[in-house]
């Protein structure tokens, strides 16, 4: 550690602030500290409180899947992947470029974002899908329907249900204030679908499915969606 140039924290998000405080002393003063956690407000606040915001950059590569641990590693994991980067406004341009270069060296595409903005975006784009998959898995489990009864599509929808419970408990509690509204929006959407199905509302049901399809078909490289979620 004494010779470290960059130190990357890769722990569950609620353990990271404590580790960061320890690294503030243990790592060389010149070392850049960064992380790969799924939430960014708490770790950035810890960096500011610890007085190391000038050499801390928060990072979050949008890679990975439901598997965890060494076995889940693979070549080209970060290739073409958006890597969100946040700082507390106290970081020099040189440090920013250093962290960008680190991610670019493994094929990632760094993009700067405000920490609150980031946490709101992932509450919807990542934490909500995780909870939806888990809720569906648990619903089917309660009904006694095994995963092998699902077709290929249903298996896709529930793949994330296999995610690590400890890692995700941490993420969801750390981001609870922003995750709850996303969950509530999903619940409202489901409630609407229940009415459409119960009422046999053909036009409404077709509209709902067509809306979802239009959303799904927007090409991955199209512009038009933004990171700034209101």
Site for a copy of itself in 143-172 (CB under 8 A): 143-154, 156-166, 168-169, 172
* CB closer to a copy of itself out of 91 and 161: 161
| Shortest separation between residue 18's beta carbon and a copy of itself, angstroms | 17
Q: For residues 95 and 53, what is the distance between their CA atoms, to the nearest angstrom? A: 11
| Shortest separation between residue 178's beta carbon and a copy of itself, angstroms | 10
Q: For residues 22 and 1, what is the distance between their CA atoms, to the nearest angstrom? A: 12
90-149 binders of a copy of itself (CB under 8 A): 121, 124-126, 128-149
| Shortest separation between residue 85's beta carbon and a copy of itself, angstroms | 16
Q: Cα separations (Å) of 7 from 10, 33, 89? A: 10, 5, 19
Q: Between 196 and 215, how does the x/- string for binding to a copy of itself read (CB under 8 A)? A: -xx-x-x--xx-xxxxxxxx
Q: For residues 37 and 59, what is the distance between their CA atoms, to the nearest angstrom? A: 7
* Residue in 66, 90, 96, 111 binding a copy of itself, rule: CB under 8 A: 66
Q: How many residues sit in the footprint of a copy of itself (CB under 8 A)?
A: 92
Instruction: Return the closest-CA partner of residue 127 out of 71, 168, 80.
Output: 168
Only one of the segments 3-11, 29-37, 100-108, 175-183 lies at the binding site for a copy of itself (rule: CB under 8 A); that segment is 175-183
80 binds a copy of itself (CB under 8 A): no
* CB closer to a copy of itself out of 116 and 149: 149
In degrees, rounded to 5, the angle at the alpha carbon of residue 193 between the alpha carbons of residues 148 and 66 is: 40
DSSP string, 143-160: TT--GGGS-HHHHHHHGG
* CB closer to a copy of itself out of 17 and 95: 17
* Residue in 1, 2, 94, 191 binding a copy of itself, rule: CB under 8 A: 191
Cβ neighbors of 84 (< 8 A, separation 6 or more) are 40, 59, 60, 61, 62, 111, 112, 113, 118
| Shortest separation between residue 19's beta carbon and a copy of itself, angstroms | 20
| Shortest separation between residue 116's beta carbon and a copy of itself, angstroms | 16
* CB closer to a copy of itself out of 26 and 190: 190
Q: For residues 61 and 73, what is the distance between their CA atoms, to the nearest angstrom? A: 14
Instruction: Return the closest-CA partner of residue 41 out of 110, 117, 116, 120.
Output: 116
Find out whether 36 and 7 touch, Cβ atoms under 8 Å: no
| Shortest separation between residue 204's beta carbon and a copy of itself, angstroms | 10
């Amino acid at each position: 550690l004494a010779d470290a140039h960059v130190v990357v924290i890769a722990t569950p998000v609620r353990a990271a602030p404590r580790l960061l405080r320890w690294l503030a002393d243990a790592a060389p003063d010149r070392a850049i500290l960064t992380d790969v956690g799924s939430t960014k407000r708490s770790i950035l606040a810890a960096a500011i409180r610890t007085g190391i915001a000038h050499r801390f950059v928060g990072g979050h590569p949008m890679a990975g899947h439901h598997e965890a641990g060494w076995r889940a590693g693979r070549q080209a994991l970060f290739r073409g992947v958006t890597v969100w980067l946040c700082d507390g406004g106290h970081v020099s341009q040189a440090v920013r470029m250093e962290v960008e270069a680190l991610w670019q060296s493994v094929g990632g595409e760094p993009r700067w974002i405000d920490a609150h903005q980031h946490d709101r975006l992932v509450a919807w784009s990542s934490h909500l899908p995780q909870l939806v998959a888990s809720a569906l898995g648990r619903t089917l489990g309660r009904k006694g329907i095994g995963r092998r009864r699902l077709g290929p599509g249903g298996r896709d929808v529930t793949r994330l249900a296999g995610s690590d419970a400890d890692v995700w408990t941490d993420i969801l509690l750390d981001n609870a204030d922003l995750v709850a509204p996303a969950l509530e929006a999903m619940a409202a959407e489901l409630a609407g679908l229940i009415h459409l199905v119960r009422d046999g509302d053909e036009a409404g049901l077709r509209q709902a499915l067509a809306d979802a399809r239009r959303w799904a078909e927007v090409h991955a490289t199209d512009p038009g969606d933004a990171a700034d979620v209101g």
